[in-house]
Amino acid sequence: MISSGVKAAWYVYGVVPADARLDALTDADGVASTRIQLVTEGAVAAIVCRVGLDDFAEEPLRRNLEDRAWLEQTASAHDRVLSGAVGVTPLVPLRFGTVFRDEAGVREMLVEREAELRDALERLGGHVELGVKVFLVDPARGEEAKPATGRDYLLQKQRARDAASTVQAEALEQVRALHEHLATLADGAHANPPQPPELSGRREPMLLNAAYLVRSDEQPEFIAAAADHGDGRLEILVTGPWPAYNFVQAEEAE
């Protein structure tokens, strides 16, 4: 809630068609625990809520972005609101932290960008974003005999490095084939940099971190196709459906 006397601004989550029915979002817990509503202008509408400038003005927001706990909680609320619209209506998600000083600013943005936003909504309509992460899981290996000499130890270490290099090279080729195959089943594909362990929460190396724009009614077939490529060395995780963050052009997300 926004305390009495605190100046408020308008936080924008994303843009939907003007005739979108998002009744389920009215009770969503947004970034400031304020009511989610639509600001409609022409053929498009912005999903918005009121936020306090003590947190979301330029300088306070910059400081808050360096507060990991605040960022994680608020970004999760942003995603939660947008996820409530996924599969319900075409959606152009805007970047986290998109704030306007007043409702007039939101309306001006919608008027100025109506043509590109309508094009984006048409392109993304009937689609969701699915994520695919692939991890290289160490295959089970038998215990090697304890080396008798220092030379044996060095040879054993070299053999282990060579074997690991071979396994990773083969796995990368398998992952490349998987990504190419999944791309043929989607209307868009985007490979992001693999996440390091501190972000993935996994000790195993991530070999693929990709997003795919998939028709909503083709999700089961896509997920099954991804699962078919798993084996003892590769663990494949399909996530989503998500708002199509990876398929919104930079100027659309501004």
> Are 109 and 144 found together in one domain?
no
Q: Which comes out higher in pLDDT, residue 141 or 171?
A: 171
> Are 133 and 238 found together in one domain?
yes
Instruction: Determine which helix (DSSP H) or strand (DSSP E) holds 22, and give its type and residue range.
Output: none
User: What CATH number is attached to the domain comprising 176?
Assistant: 3.30.70
Within-domain flag for 48: yes
Residues with Cβ within 8 Å of residue 57, at least 6 apart in sequence: 9, 99
Residue 152: what pLDDT? 46
Per the CB < 8 A criterion, the answer to whether 74 and 68 are in contact is: no
- 36-40, 243-247, 249-253: least confident range: 249-253
* Residues 125-154, mean pLDDT to the nearest whole number: 70
DSSP code of residue 203: S
**Encoded tokens for 164:** 């690991």
> Are 143 and 154 found together in one domain?
yes
* Residues 191-206, mean pLDDT to the nearest whole number: 87
Q: Which comes out higher in pLDDT, residue 190 or 145?
A: 190
Give the other-Cβ count within 10 Å of 240's Cβ.
Answer: 19
Strands 8-17 and 99-100: antiparallel
> Are 70 and 156 found together in one domain?
no
User: Could you say which of 97, 125, 153 is where a domain stops?
Assistant: 125
Dihedral angle at the C-alpha atoms of 15, 18, 24, 26, nearest 10 degrees?
80
How far is CA 82 from its chain centroid? 11
Residue 3: what pLDDT? 46
Residue 183: what pLDDT? 95
The predicted-structure confidence for 16-34, as pLDDT tens digits, reads as follows 999 888 776 666 677 877 7
Within-domain flag for 3: no
The answer, yes or no, to whether residue 253 has pLDDT greater than 70, is no
The predicted-structure confidence for 199-234, as pLDDT tens digits, reads as follows 888 888 899 999 999 999 999 999 999 988 767 788
Domain count, the chain: 2
> Are 59 and 119 found together in one domain?
yes
By residue range, what is the domain housing residue 143?
A: 127-250
User: Could you say which of 105, 125, 145 is where a domain stops?
Assistant: 125
Give, in order, the Cα–Cα distances in Å from 208 to each of 69, 89, 175.
27, 29, 7
> Are 136 and 236 found together in one domain?
yes
The answer, yes or no, to whether residue 160 has pLDDT greater than 70, is no
Question: Percent of the chain beyond pLDDT 90?
Answer: 42
The answer, yes or no, to whether residue 85 has pLDDT greater than 90, is no
> Are 32 and 81 found together in one domain?
yes
Average pLDDT, the chain: 82
Report the amino acid identity of residue 142: G
The answer, yes or no, to whether residue 93 has pLDDT greater than 50, is yes
The answer, yes or no, to whether residue 13 has pLDDT greater than 60, is yes
User: Could you say which of 68, 101, 125 is where a domain stops?
Assistant: 125
Per the CB < 8 A criterion, the answer to whether 210 and 131 are in contact is: yes
Q: Is the dihedral of CA 108, 114, 116, 121 positive or negative?
A: positive
> Are 132 and 120 found together in one domain?
no
pTM for the model stands at: 0.77
Within-domain flag for 1: no
State the burial class of residue 37 (Cβ atoms within 10 Å of its Cβ: 0-12, 13-18, 19+). Answer: middle
